[in-house]
């Protein structure tokens, strides 16, 4: 029920993005006038990886790879009619595909946020503080730009990988504690090691999506340690939800 409510809240809040078109602030350079996307975008993906100076001096190859897949899906045939303006277009992309992908990524990030909060609050804690925190994340005004702006995909992708990495880290930390006390089977030891590896992989992949995200990791990890200690010593205190949200605030 909680997941259904979060999905409905997010979609209702941002359903207007499906009416958005492209804008001339970076969407032109990155997407609809991108010379690599005009013809056979998937065949040109390698160019974003091989050019270390970066396309238009921005090296975020995973983001451009995702855009290439979306461009392939959104390509309009010659003489198509634009569904928003009614004009006949010579060529181009259906912006709805890009905006739908942005909303989908925001949904994934919201559900990951909910999962992280539940794990931070601990077993036996009531569900609704995690729902409230994830709902605040879902509808926060700061997320309007990345969700409603096609180029904002890079922010959404980096957020998803950051949260996935944090979730893997929390799982590994919990399993690590059980392992040190001798309560963890061999199979779960491997899972714990994999979780630590996923944290490192998530950090690296998030850098491929957004170039400035690395600085936030130092604050997130430091604050994460503090929150973990607070929750360990004060489990059940009425302000534990605030502490959990502070952990995620380091990512903003």
Q: What is the pLDDT of residues 107-142, one digit of tens each?
A: 999 999 999 999 888 777 788 889 999 999 999 998
pLDDT at 108: 96
How far apart, in whole angstroms, are the C-alpha atoms of residue 129 and residue 249? 16
Q: Which residues pair with 55 in a beta bridge?
A: 58
Please say if the pLDDT value at position 100 is more than 90: yes
DSSP letter at 82 equals: P
Asked if the model's pLDDT at residue 1 lies above 80, the reply is: yes
Alpha helices in 38-152 (DSSP H): 45-50, 61-74, 95-121, 128-139, 144-148
**What pTM did the predictor assign?**
0.72
- The structural domains of the chain, with segments of one domain joined by +, span 2-94, 99-249
CA–CA separation, 15 vs 103, rounded Å? 8
Q: What dihedral do alpha carbons 126, 131, 137, 139 form, nearest 10°?
A: -150
How far apart, in whole angstroms, are the C-alpha atoms of residue 29 and residue 114? 35
pLDDT of residue 239: 39
Instruction: Decide: helix, strand or coil at residue 9.
Output: helix
């Amino acid at each position: 029920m909680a997941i259904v409510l979060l999905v409905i809240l997010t979609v209702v809040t941002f359903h207007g993005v499906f009416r958005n078109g492209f804008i001339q602030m970076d969407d032109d350079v990155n997407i609809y006038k991108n010379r690599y996307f005009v013809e056979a975008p998937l065949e040109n993906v390698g160019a974003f990886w091989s050019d270390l100076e970066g396309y238009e001096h921005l090296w975020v190859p995973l983001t451009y790879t995702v855009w290439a897949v979306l461009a392939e899906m959104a390509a309009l045939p010659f003489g198509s009619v634009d569904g928003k303006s009614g004009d006949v277009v010579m060529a181009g992309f259906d912006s709805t595909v890009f905006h739908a992908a942005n909303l989908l990524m925001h949904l994934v990030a919201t559900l990951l946020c909910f999962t992280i909060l539940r794990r931070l609050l601990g077993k036996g804690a009531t569900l609704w503080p995690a729902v409230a925190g994830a709902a605040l994340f879902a509808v926060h005004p700061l997320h309007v730009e990345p969700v409603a702006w096609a180029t904002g995909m890079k922010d959404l992708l980096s957020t998803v990988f950051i949260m996935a990495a944090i979730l893997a880290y929390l799982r590994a930390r919990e399993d690590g504690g059980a392992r040190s006390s001798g309560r963890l089977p061999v199979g779960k030891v491997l899972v714990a090691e994999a979780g630590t590896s996923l944290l490192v992989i998530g950090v690296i992949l998030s850098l491929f999506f957004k170039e400035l995200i690395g600085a936030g990791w130092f604050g997130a990890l430091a604050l994460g340690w503090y929150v973990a200690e607070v929750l360990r010593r004060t489990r059940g205190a009425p302000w534990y939800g605030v502490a959990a949200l502070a952990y995620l605030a380091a990512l903003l």
